[in-house]
């Protein structure tokens, strides 16, 4: 079985909302990441990926995004503990709120960064930059 994880590529004023994961996190602690989290069991449910992501964004960084989420891409990986994860990234439009590390157990710090700033940051894994580049391609198509 897989853990399903959702992440948000949130852009505002030519910059992307990036979190620095808490060093307490088992997976990728201390690295830069998109905001997101695991889908929880709900039984029969509609729009579970979208609702999970909107909730996680607010819980982790205190901002709201518009309801229309656009699929960017999906990947799979295995955690250090051997758990299989399916990760789904959505492009989200910032709506309101002042960004801050609301959940200190999950988020050490928050940043608004350009792609270039991410590429120059040693804490930015390749998969983060790949997700942002794919999200930027979607924006350029519009």
- The strand ranges marked E within the chain are 3-12, 15-21, 32-33, 35-38, 64-65, 70-78, 84-96, 107-113
57-116 pLDDT per residue, tens: 999 999 999 989 999 999 999 988 899 999 999 999 999 999 999 988 888 999 999 999
**In contact, 11 and 58? CB cutoff 8 Å:** no
Region of poorest pLDDT, from 25-34, 60-69, 113-122: 25-34
pTM: 0.92
Domains in the chain, please, with CATH?
Answer: 3-141 (3.90.79.10)
Q: For residue 134, give both structure tokens.
A: 């794919």
């Amino acid at each position: 079985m897989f853990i399903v994880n959702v992440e948000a590529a949130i852009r505002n004023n030519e910059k992307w909302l990036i979190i620095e994961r808490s060093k307490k996190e088992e997976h990728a602690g201390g690295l830069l990441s998109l905001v997101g989290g695991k889908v929880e069991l709900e039984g029969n449910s509609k729009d579970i990926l979208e609702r999970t992501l909107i909730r996680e964004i607010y819980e982790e960084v205190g901002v709201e995004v518009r309801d229309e989420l656009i699929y960017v891409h999906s990947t799979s990986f295995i955690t250090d503990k051997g758990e299989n994860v399916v990760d789904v990234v959505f492009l989200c439009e910032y709506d309101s709120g002042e960004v801050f590390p609301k959940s200190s157990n999950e988020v050490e710090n928050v940043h608004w960064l350009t792609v270039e700033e991410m590429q120059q940051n040693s804490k930015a894994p390749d998969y983060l930059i790949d997700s942002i580049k794919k999200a930027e391609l979607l924006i350029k198509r519009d």
